[in-house]
């Protein structure tokens, strides 16, 4: 039997929770589906902080300019202006709701991160900002009696009828059986797809499900070639790629090679505080030059007391691996971290399918351009989660819910196993993506990757495995099309930026890749 609700939100990171709260304000019934526990999302793992204009020596124009510079000429200005202006408003609201940002002498404490011209990064409990934001938003969501959080409800696909998104198919966590839920609109807040790569800072849930579901439902995808690789993930044998926050370099961390030399002087005048794509490529170049698999992050100029207080989670994690961040050089190398591309939306979260909205990393609003500015991701989720919730209510509140269950008997999930990505498929895709569609790309490697993905796709795949392979194909296809280097996308065979490619790549099911000068539409 199908479930009916007013609005369906998929994902419980900062974007999903903020959208849910906005929806519930209208008195609507809101059902939030997550494939793990409610707290498990990319937001939970965001260490560095959230960028916002609140300090005395900062202003909106400076934050906008830093974002545009990092975005390498591909940001949509209106989207950036919206992010910065609304960001201050919504962060102040979070503080009113009880979030505990770190303070010094009673005043908010700000830190600096790469490519920011001011100390504008708020942090919580040192290096647990995302976790604190999730805590505060879940506490606020639980005050809304009309929000139902449904953890361990793995979503498989969107239900589209009469060219409108009307519901979702998912695996009921209690019955362990397939079910359908219908509502007036669906908001996708499923995060990114870092798990496409062999080495990633993302949690296991970040497999890009929302992007793939939207694509198969007919939504347009934009800028899928732009993947950000975080420069400093802890690089140890038999250990996960734990993120060593950008803020560590913001506080004075130095990158050294195996000889102990500070090598960023060779690559960029901004040294360790250059944009992430530049630092990541510099590390790769240095590893190749010295024949090593990692470089080192040096925090030894700072006191142990300061480091333990400023980065408590990082301090304890490194200690578990017998590393003292105050005295030891920390082995690091780049890992996939963030997707700038995703579901094409306007500034209110509207996708190109009626009734389907999206917010956060699953989307491409044009706000990040070709390379996301550090600590703009939590802000984006907060701002555009609220805006998507607001628009979904305004656009659909008077709409009647239609239950299409009996009209689509063949469209139901046939097998709960279809929720799982095959281990063999996952390993193969992740390896190919890392080796051929990674930090450095070229025509031959991308073509070989696409050939492998086509071969995998011809197998008898589960729905989730098909989604995973398709997402990899979308990234590789757009990376092959973009014959230039810009932001997070670097082509060895086209190392320069080309103005004719100052456009967004647009992909849609059963349609050739096209381009657009602007992401936002339907204003």
CA distances from 248 to 86, 129, 309, 334 (A): 27, 14, 12, 15
**Both ends of the chain: CA-CA distance in Å?**
38
Q: 245 by DSSP, 3-state: which?
A: coil
Name the β-bridge partners of 330. 297
Query: How far apart (Å, rounded) are the C-alpha atoms in residues 286 and 268?
Result: 13
What DSSP letter does each residue of 390-452 carry, written as one string? HHHHHHHTTPPP---GGG-GGGS---GGGGSPPHHHHHHHHHHHHHHSSSSB-HHHHHHHHHH
**Buried/exposed 82-116: b ≥16 CB within 10 Å, e otherwise:** bbbebbbebbeebeeeebebbeeeeeebbbbbbbb
Radius of gyration of the chain (CA): 22
Structure tokens at 413: 């999930």
- Angle at CA of residue 362, ends 361 and 364, nearest 5°: 80
DSSP state at residue 510: T
Query: How far apart (Å, rounded) are the C-alpha atoms in residues 263 and 248?
Result: 17
What values do phi and psi take at 296, rounded to 5? Answer: -130, 140
List 241, 276, 387, 436, catalytic entry: 276
Secondary element (H or E) of residue 20: helix 14-24
Token pair 């020596």 is at which residue?
A: 57
User: Has 119 been annotated as catalytic?
Assistant: no
**Spatial contact of 159 and 180, defined as CB atoms under 8 Å apart:** yes
**Buried/exposed 168-185: b ≥16 CB within 10 Å, e otherwise:** bbbbbbeeeebbbbbbbb
Query: How far apart (Å, rounded) are the C-alpha atoms in residues 60 and 49?
Result: 18
**Spatial contact of 208 and 474, defined as CB atoms under 8 Å apart:** no
Structure tokens at 366: 């044009």
Half-sphere exposure of 364 (CA within 13 A, CB side): 31
Burial class (CB in 10 A: 0-12, 13-18, 19+), 476: buried
Of the candidates 381, 439, 445, the one whose C-alpha atom is nearest the C-alpha of residue 233 is 439
Asked whether the CA dihedral 270, 271, 276, 281 is positive or negative, the reply is positive
Half-sphere exposure of 96 (CA within 13 A, CB side): 6
Question: For strand 50-51 and strand 121-122, is the pairing parallel, antiparallel, or unpaired?
Answer: antiparallel
Among all residues, which ones are annotated catalytic? 276
């Amino acid at each position: 039997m199908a479930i009916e609700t007013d609005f369906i939100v998929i994902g419980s990171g900062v974007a999903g929770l903020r959208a849910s709260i906005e929806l519930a304000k209208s008195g609507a019934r809101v059902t939030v589906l997550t494939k793990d526990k409610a707290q498990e999302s990319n937001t939970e793992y965001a260490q560095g902080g959230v960028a916002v204009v609140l300090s005395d020596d900062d202003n909106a124009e400076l934050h906008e300019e830093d974002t545009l510079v990092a975005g390498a000429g591909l940001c949509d200005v209106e989207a950036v202006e919206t992010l910065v202006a609304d960001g201050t408003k919504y962060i102040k609201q979070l503080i009113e709701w009880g979030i505990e940002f770190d303070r010094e002498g009673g005043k908010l404490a700000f830190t600096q991160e790469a490519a920011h011209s001011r100390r504008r990064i708020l942090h919580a409990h040192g290096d647990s900002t995302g976790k604190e934001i999730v805590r505060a938003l879940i506490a606020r969501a639980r005050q809304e009696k009309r929000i139902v959080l449904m953890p361990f409800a793995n979503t498989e696909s969107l239900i589209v009828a009469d060219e409108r998104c009307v519901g979702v198919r998912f695996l009921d966590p209690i019955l362990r059986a397939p079910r359908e839920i219908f509502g007036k609109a669906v908001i996708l807040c499923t995060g990114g797809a870092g798990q496409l790569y062999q080495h990633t800072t993302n949690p296991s849930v970040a497999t890009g499900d929302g992007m793939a579901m939207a694509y198969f439902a007919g939504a347009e995808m934009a800028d899928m070639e732009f993947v950000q690789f975080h420069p400093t993930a802890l690089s140890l044998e038999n250990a996960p790629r734990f993120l060593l926050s950008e803020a560590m370099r913001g506080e004075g961390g130095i990158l050294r090679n195996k000889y102990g030399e500070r090598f960023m002087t060779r690559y960029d005048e901004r040294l360790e505080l250059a944009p992430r794509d530049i630092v990541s490529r510099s590390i790769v170049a240095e590893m190749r030059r010295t024949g090593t698999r990692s470089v080192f992050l040096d925090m030894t100029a700072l006191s142990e007391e300061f480091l333990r207080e400023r980065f408590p989670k990082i301090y304890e994690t490194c200690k578990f691996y017998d590393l003292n961040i105050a005295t030891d050089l920390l082995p690091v190398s780049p890992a996939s971290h963030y997707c700038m591309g995703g579901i094409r939306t306007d500034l209110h979260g509207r996708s190109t399918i009626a009734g389907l909205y999206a917010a956060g990393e699953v989307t491409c609003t044009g706000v990040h351009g070709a390379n996301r500015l550090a600590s703009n991701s939590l802000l984006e989720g907060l701002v555009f989660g609220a805006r998507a919730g607001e628009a979904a209510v305004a656009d659909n509140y008077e709409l009647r819910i239609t239950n299409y269950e009996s009209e689509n008997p063949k469209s139901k999930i046939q097998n709960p196993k279809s929720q799982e990505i095959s281990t063999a498929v996952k390993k193969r895709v992740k390896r190919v993506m890392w080796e051929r569609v990674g930090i450095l790309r070229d025509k031959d490697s991308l073509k070989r990757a696409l050939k492998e993905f086509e071969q995998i796709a011809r197998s008898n795949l589960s729905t989730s495995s098909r989604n995973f392979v398709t997402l990899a194909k979308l990234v590789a296809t757009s990376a092959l099309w973009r014959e230039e280097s810009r932001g997070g996308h670097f082509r060895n065979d086209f190392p320069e930026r080309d103005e004719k490619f100052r456009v967004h790549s647009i992909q849609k099911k059963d349609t050739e890749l096209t381009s657009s000068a602007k992401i936002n539409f339907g204003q």
